[in-house]
A = this chain, B = another copy of it.
Amino acid sequence: MYDSRIPYDKSAAIWSPDGELVQLSYARKASEKGAAAVGLIIDEKTILLAGETLFDPLVLKPDKIQEIDNRLFLVASGLSTDSNLLIGQARLVAQQHRLIYGEKISIRALAQRLGDLMARHTIQGGLRPFGTALLLAGFNPISKQSELFFVDNGGSYFAVNAYAAGSGNEKIIDALRKNYKPGIGVEDAKKQILEIITEALGKKEPLTEKELEIRILTSE
């Protein structure tokens, strides 16, 4: 089974006989090696973003949750080389939008622009797919609601109420499917998330708030 795939996994721009892009699935593994990241909408106006931070006494705790524009946030999980490129691109796209239209880019539009770039890396020979998945979060001034988007490493994007990227993402998403309640309140959501990530990552000790970068985004 595995052997027969070998010749189809050397370029992003080749289909395997069963209609798969094998390089894209290899790159997904890189995105799942990134630090765990979770986002969820709590009562329509609040988003909780939590990014696992690895402690190194020499390294200044980097902002896992990056502010791209005024109250528009992005968490990138995966190969840090690729995450840096995408965060830089997100800033560029947001600035260009402001310059051209005189207003902040919408989260959906930013997800589409980044998704487009990431999709092109799956379709053109000589490039490789990105090894990073994204969570985009912010407040939509028109609908007066919070919005959360997930962009996978191939550039697919969709609006979510709660989702996870990076390490343990499948287990965390499963747990969210069972336990996510939009009206649970921020403090309870925090506790729940800590438990879910602890279990998904198979930690012996329960994670505390210190080991996560947590941001509560509200409409004001």
Please determine whether A19 and B15 come into contact, CB atoms closer than 8 angstroms: no
Interchain CB contact under 8 A, A131 and B84: no
Choose the segment among A56-64, A93-101, A134-142, A191-199 that binds chain B (4+ C-beta atoms closer than 8 Å).
A56-64
Cβ contacts under 8 Å, A60 to chain B:
158-161
Q: How large is the interface on A (under 10, 10 to 19, 20 to 34, 35 or more residues)?
A: 35 or more
Q: Interface readout for A139-156 with B: 1 if CB under 8 Å, 0 if not?
A: 000000000000000111
Whether the Cβ atoms of A57 and B124 lie closer than 8 Å is: no
* A188 within 8 Å of B (CB atoms): no
Kindly state whether residue A166 has any CB partner on chain B within 8 Å: no
- Asked if A88 is an interface residue, CB under 8 A from chain B, the answer is yes
Taken together as a complex, chains A and B put the C-alpha atoms of A82 and B123 apart, in Å, by 9
- Are A30 and B26 interface neighbours, CB within 8 A? no
**Within the complex, what minimum Cβ distance (angstroms) separates A124 from chain B?**
6
A112 close to B88 (CB less than 8 A): yes
Return chain B residues, CB-CB under 8 Å to A19.
26-33, 131
The distance from the CB of A55 to the nearest CB of chain B, in whole angstroms, is 10
A167 on the B face (CB < 8 A) = no
- Say whether B81 contacts A156, CB under 8 Å: yes
A84 touches B58 (CB 8 A): no
Which residues does chain B contribute within 8 Å of A177, judged by CB atoms?
56-58
List residues of A (63-113) whose CB comes within 8 Å of B's CBs. 79-82, 84-85, 88, 112
Contacts known (A33-B19, A58-B173, A180-B57); A81 close to B122, Cβ less than 8 A: yes
Point out the residue from B126, B129, B158 that lies within 8 Å of A62, measured CB to CB.
Answer: B158
22 contacts between A and B (CB under 8 A): A6-B7, A15-B29, A15-B30, A18-B26, A19-B27, A19-B33, A19-B131, A21-B128, A21-B131, A24-B81, A57-B161, A59-B158, A59-B161, A60-B161, A62-B159, A81-B156, A84-B116, A84-B156, A84-B157, A124-B126, A125-B127, A126-B126
